[in-house]
Chain A
Amino acid sequence: MLTEKEIWILAGRFSARSITELSIEDMQAIADETGISLKAVEWYALDKQIQPLRYRRNLGTLGFDGQKKLLESTIIVCGLGGLGGHIIEQCARAGTGTIIGADHDVFDATNLNRQILSAIDTLGEKKVEEAKKRIEKINPAVDFKDYHGKFADIEDSDWENADIVFDCLDNIAGRIVLGEKCTSHNLPMIHGAIAGWCGQVAIVWPASSILETIYKGQETGIETETGTPPFTAAAAASIMTANAIKILAGKETEKKEQILFFDLFENDWQTINL
């Protein structure tokens, strides 16, 4: 995260007074004065047990080490619609260091019910562009790289640098191909899918057969009848983000072959071992 020279500069800057917390303004001032990136300044502060205020409400859950690991992390989010929009929102707020987002689409009126990046004034705009603007607004320490295209367009170097991939696609064929891609790069994938009141989330570890098991021979799900309402998208996205952050922050080490299926109408949550 930091070169020896940067550590020396920051050590000088931080030793001037006893600091226990850093405001948004303080961090920006240090970054501006030293020419060191905001993300690196945050990381250094966390390393010295200094709380960046923007992460204070994370620290009781993630700890200084977990927050540092999250800042060092790179995620790929495939699909920036109902699931992906909420995921980049949460990951940026949580302090995920680098987010790579891919979506070939622009917003239309049918997205407004659930896609958090869509609004009347963003109809017709590229989803990746709105994602970029949103992340800059929420947390400028986060690096965002956008691909206005399919996930197949993402460069090899980005797959190699990634720690985790989010499957936020809206079609089964694409999900299967993405799963294979993640296995080929030895990356865990967070799968999420929704239909009506129901959703499912799984951590798909490399070489796992979960997707083949649940989607064998299928082309579409019941979402063609039930649609995809806002609360289900937000719920699935939250579970996906929590599962990813557990791994990124070094809290989850057990590799379970599990899928969570939830039904918000019945308030029924089933954890299924596959």
Chain B
Amino acid sequence: MTEPIIAIDKVNHYFGKGNLRKQILFEVTTTVDPGEVVIMTGPSGSGKTTLLTLIGALRSTQEGSMKVLGQELRNAAEGQLVGLRRNVGYIFQAHNLLNSLTAKQNVMMSLELHDQITPTEAKEMAEGMLEAVGLQERMNYYPDELSGGQKQRVAIARALVSNPKLVLADEPTAALDKKSGRDVVEIMRNLAKERGSAVVLVTHDNRILDVADRLIHMEDGRLESYDLDQEPAPEKAIALG
């Protein structure tokens, strides 16, 4: 048994202070194995995004144990958190590309963080990645010259180009129509599988649940897990999606 990419043990999380303090996550416990594609569903306000920001080291873990890529994030120093972020690929709901940069430059931004990659290599890797997401014709376009689906594909290229062990995606299809949403998710899944990256994907979109190996459902800050290989997705998870 290999070590899991993510090991979450009894994580609690609170927002606010004093009387306004509100618990968001309740004893969340789960693991994600290398190369696994996990979809997280659940109604708005159930704590999905909060959990994702904890995994991605964008927030500090308050209680419980959060191990990502073998590193304990609770009480980790800011420098360690920044270091971890470099080894995680992010895909955001709003694509969040840098508008002043071309598609290729946007992808290269994620490689500049890795000192051992020369600018020439970075350029080649970025070009290869954009080809893989089917944007070879659009490499030197600026984000405002691209459609929503194309922008999201640039975001996927940016997240995956440095071969991260873990990719986190927050509703990557929310702003897309059915066809391009489906394309984007499939590209993401296939590339992640090729490279052995684990994916945690938060979505409301029940049309894409079948790309996952496993489904976790979050409700009121508590987690339930379903293995899609052994049982079909439960009605609740799909209906609420």
A binds B: no
B binding-site residues for A, Cβ under 8 Å: none
